Amino acid sequence: MMNKGQSYELTIEDMSTEGQGIGRAEGLAVFVDGAVVGDVIKAELTKLKKNYAIGRIVEILEPSAQRIEPACRYAKDCGGCSLQSMNYEEQLRLKKKIAEDKLIRIGGIENPIVHDTIGMEKPWRYRNKAQFIVREAGGAASLKDGPSEPAAVGFYRAKSHQIINCDECLIQSEPAEKLAKALRKYMKTDHISAYDNKTGKGLIRHLIVKTAFGTGEIMAILVINGKGLPNMEKLVYIMDDAIDELSPDPDTGVEFTLESVILNINKKKTSEILGEQNITIAGKSTILEQAGGLNFEISPMSFFQINPTQMVKLFDKVLEYACLTGEETVLDLYCGVGAIGLYSAIHAKRVIGIESVKSAVIDANRNAVINRIVNAEFICGKAEEELPRLLEQGVKADVVILDPPRAGCDPILLDAVAAAGPDRIVYVSCDPATLARDVKILREKGYQFIEAQPVDMFSWTGHVETVVLLSKVDK
């Protein structure tokens, strides 16, 4: 009989979507953080359930050929990059397998065509948005080689709410690291309190840094539990000096400049990061990004693809699947700030985007103006409600692009999409499970799965973006 605390020798035969190695002990699946396919390990059971167990590595008896030494010194503590012990080529193979397995098991597709994952040439420093948690250092994890500061500015420890006070993160931009360091300095010298999520007291909750890699423009957003910050001008100067220390990007030659400092007011005792009020305390209220030949204004609340280098590859695949000739009406549903729709507009007759977040729709229409795109419009509302109205007005959808949040599409929307009867549906998803679920529904409504293309937008993590092409059966 298996018991918590027992140790077993496991051969890791598979990986979970969260990046855990999977072995078997007495016929039961055991999930182990940090284990890699091919490892032979000694694992202690830390949790025992009816159908599975959780274990931790006690000793690596035989390392896998795919195992590498993590490049980041926080890899064993931080919960951000679960695949740092696996070489990059194996990560790409794993992500293809994840997408393939979900389409088979959930989507009900036999032998789906899933192409090799599109990877990065340099899978580091790719994130254009860093979201640092700010807490009192006493509530943070202590690392021997980590910074000693009164305030912890970092990320969650794996499977906990304890903060790792990271002074370096190899997937974030260097400007983000510099601004986190500047914030620590300011909080220390000016005795600024960090937020306590248990009591609801303390001033600074989060630091969000947005980096426009195409232009070098930087936005710093300070989320605070109050009306303002003491000595705000001093903080802006410290941050500005920190960015000025940076060298131009070695690949593009772009110089980084701090263009925007925003206070976001969030006094609610909630897990939501951003409040509703933004105050510009220095510079502009937006920054400008350039990607794929287009300009995008990025505001504090707007969503933008986290990896702009891979975003262009992703959008190129969307265009390939959409197969536009210049005569099509394209519906871009869950359009966000309109990035995919605007990228498609030059190849289409008309693009109509629908998005429920008002600020994103404002950004999308503004981005259309900035790029002098006159055949794209963006509507605020729920796609499942707005789409039927468009059909009643006589709009014919030739191609539908779906890019929903992680939870996938509303079933009512899928009904509406099927009723619109587009020739092709291009579905972009960051969650292979909900993607496969929705593909199954669309297949039942008269659409055929053609193929899927995974794209590595989130290197060193277990996440994968996938683009799927579906075609109307009579086409």
Task: Give a yes or no: residue 79 inside a domain.
Answer: no
Tell me which of 268, 298, 328 is where a domain ends.
298
Same domain, 191 and 146: yes
- Reported as a single tens digit per residue, the pLDDT across 431-460 is 999 999 999 999 999 999 999 999 999 999
Element (H, E) at 182: helix 174-189
Task: Give a yes or no: residue 455 inside a domain.
Answer: yes
For 187, residues 6+ apart whose C-beta sits below 8 A from its C-beta are: 134, 149, 150, 151, 193, 194, 204
Task: Give a yes or no: residue 71 inside a domain.
Answer: no
Report helix, strand or coil for 315.
Answer: helix
Same domain, 275 and 312: no
Mean pLDDT of 199-214: 96
Same domain, 374 and 460: yes
Same domain, 322 and 436: yes
φ and ψ at 230, to 5 degrees? -65, 140
Same domain, 380 and 450: yes
32: CATH: 2.40.50.140
Does the pLDDT of residue 17 top 80, yes or no?
no
Distances (CA, A) of 247 to 174, 182, 252, 255: 10, 17, 11, 7
Looking at residue 308, what is its pLDDT? Answer: 95
Same domain, 322 and 447: yes
Task: Give a yes or no: residue 50 inside a domain.
Answer: yes
Helix locations, 6-162, DSSP H? 88-105
Does the pLDDT of residue 145 top 50, yes or no?
no
Mean pLDDT of 171-192: 96
Task: Give a yes or no: residue 85 inside a domain.
Answer: no
Identify the CA nearest to 364 among candidates 403, 325, 414: 403
- Reported as a single tens digit per residue, the pLDDT across 401-425 is 999 999 999 999 999 999 999 999 9
Same domain, 446 and 421: yes
Mean pLDDT of 141-161: 70
- 0.85 exceeded by the pTM? yes
Task: Give a yes or no: residue 389 inside a domain.
Answer: yes
Does the pLDDT of residue 89 top 50, yes or no?
yes
Q: Is 380 a catalytic residue?
A: no
Tell me which of 276, 298, 320 is where a domain ends.
298
Element (H, E) at 241: helix 232-244
Planar angle of CA 264, 268, 274, nearest 5 degrees: 35
Mean pLDDT (the chain) is: 93
Does the pLDDT of residue 144 top 50, yes or no?
no
In the chain, the number of structural domains is 3
Same domain, 238 and 331: no
Lowest pLDDT segment from 234-238, 359-363, 400-404:
359-363
Identify the CA nearest to 25 among candidates 35, 38, 41: 41
Task: Give a yes or no: residue 72 inside a domain.
Answer: no
475 confidence band (pLDDT: 50, 70, 90): low
Does the pLDDT of residue 279 top 80, yes or no?
yes
Integer Cα distance of 211 and 466 in angstroms: 24
Does the pLDDT of residue 316 top 70, yes or no?
yes
Looking at residue 137, what is its pLDDT? Answer: 75
List the domain range (segments joined by +) for residue 431: 92-121+307-472
Looking at residue 282, what is its pLDDT? Answer: 97
Task: Give a yes or no: residue 245 inside a domain.
Answer: yes
- Reported as a single tens digit per residue, the pLDDT across 167-181 is 899 999 999 999 999
Q: Are strands 40-48 and 399-402 parallel, antiparallel or unpaired?
A: unpaired
- Reported as a single tens digit per residue, the pLDDT across 38-54 is 999 999 999 999 899 99
Looking at residue 206, what is its pLDDT? Answer: 98
Same domain, 206 and 240: yes
Q: Are strands 163-164 and 151-156 parallel, antiparallel or unpaired?
A: antiparallel
Distances (CA, A) of 38 to 13, 69, 216, 473: 6, 15, 42, 42
φ and ψ at 196, to 5 degrees? -115, 110
Of 145 and 7, the one with more pLDDT = 7
Same domain, 255 and 378: no
268: CATH: 2.40.50.1070
383: CATH: 3.40.50.150
Looking at residue 142, what is its pLDDT? Answer: 45
Same domain, 291 and 273: yes
Tell me which of 298, 329, 352 is where a domain ends.
298
Distances (CA, A) of 35 to 166, 260, 331, 407: 23, 42, 43, 28
Helix locations, 108-173, DSSP H? none
Same domain, 25 and 56: yes
Looking at residue 125, what is its pLDDT? Answer: 96
- Reported as a single tens digit per residue, the pLDDT across 363-387 is 999 999 999 999 999 999 999 899 9
